[in-house]
Amino acid sequence: MGLTRRERKKRRRELTKARRKVLNRRLLLALPLVALVAGLLIFLAPTNDDPVSHAQAPVVEPRLDPPAATEAGREDEASDGASDGASDGATPSETARGAAAGISGGETKALRAELEGIAQAYPGRYGVIVSDPSSGETVSMDPDGRFLAASINKLPVLMALYRSAAAGTVNLDDEISMQASDVQAYGTGSLYTKPIGYTITLRECAGLLIKESDNTAWKMLDRYLGRDFIRSELYSAGARSTEYWIPNTTTPNDVLIMLEKISDPAYTSPDLSAEMLGLMTNTDFEDRLPQLLPGDARVSHKIGSYGATFGDAGLVFPNGSRNAEDAYFIVVIVDETGEGTARAAMQEMSLATYRAYTNDNP
């Protein structure tokens, strides 16, 4: 028996209502994915802003005390080397320090065992490299492992900016203004609290980039220099396993290359190298590699944190030295762990390395 007209209308209304419910349910399920895709497109979309035009070569006047030796100091060191450290120009403490500091081949095995023991005590995945330029010795754990770089990948921006300053294509005293597309209202830093159009010099922006790890400063300099240029500079420097900016990964060996370039006066200039190292000293984040070291140790470094990955990398100047030739490099990246665990491991690895380098074992 067929349905009456009224029953057919009722059936159509019920079917229409059911279809709407199914459609609404699908829309609710799809909304988070649509929002995520839209957010990624906004983040990745290039701005229409042209890079800031580059000006004349900068007047290099470092605002911070340089760690490099003076010309007179270099002459004294040269004469020290010629007389086996017994020159009249060096004090007994300086001579003893120069003779004692460094990691010898016989000490690398002991240091590696100590670092591995620390890694076992604090669970996580480790990428570590310690390099002593004075002896050529290196101690490492998974140095070519790929890790999330987080804010350690602000070092390539610093490198590219100061390399350009050394080449005369950038003047660090030129000004840069914050655009709406630059604002990164997350993480660390204070620039995002400033009004759109806020203007500072490139040198000041670099200072915020490193000392505060300011994400808005990163975006401003990334726009100014151009992402392709920064990647090209990294590749030319030899850091060819680093992915800047997405997926933002690196290796301990690549981070070591970045540190070597920053501290090498031949890469930029003695003054510019000293200025970069100055920016990396006494930052807002001194609770990792520097934390347990003696008060007269100087650490020029850059940290990074994101999710379950935490890192710190830099040069350590022991015993009050301000000469980059006396420093050693240390990179520690810890993944798959918590911040407290990673911090404790970095502190202990840093102290163990310092004691090995200075022969100051308890």
Cβ atoms within 10 Å of 144's Cβ, excluding its own: 12
83 in a structural domain: no
Compute the distance between CA of residue 198 and CA of residue 175 in angstroms, rounded to an integer: 10
**pLDDT of the residue at 7:** 64
78 in a structural domain: no
pTM of the model: 0.75
Tokens of 91: 């004090």
Q: Is residue 346 classed as helix, strand or coil in its secondary structure?
A: helix
118 in a structural domain: yes
Question: Domains in the chain: how many in total?
Answer: 1
**pLDDT of the residue at 353:** 98
Query: Do 161 and 226 meet the contact criterion of CB atoms below 8 Å apart?
Result: no
**pLDDT of the residue at 199:** 98
234 in a structural domain: yes
CATH of the domain at 354: 3.40.710.10
243 in a structural domain: yes
CA separation (Å) from 64 to 67, 107, 272? Answer: 9, 35, 11
245 in a structural domain: yes
Q: Tell me the residue range of the domain where 110 lies.
A: 105-358
| Mean pLDDT split into 10-residue runs, the chain, 362 residues | 63 64 54 48 40 32 31 33 34 39 90 98 98 96 98 98 98 98 94 98 98 98 98 97 96 98 98 98 98 97 98 96 93 98 98 94 68
**pLDDT of the residue at 53:** 34
Query: Do 279 and 297 meet the contact criterion of CB atoms below 8 Å apart?
Result: no
225 in a structural domain: yes
Q: Omega before 218 cis (within 30°)?
A: no
319 in a structural domain: yes
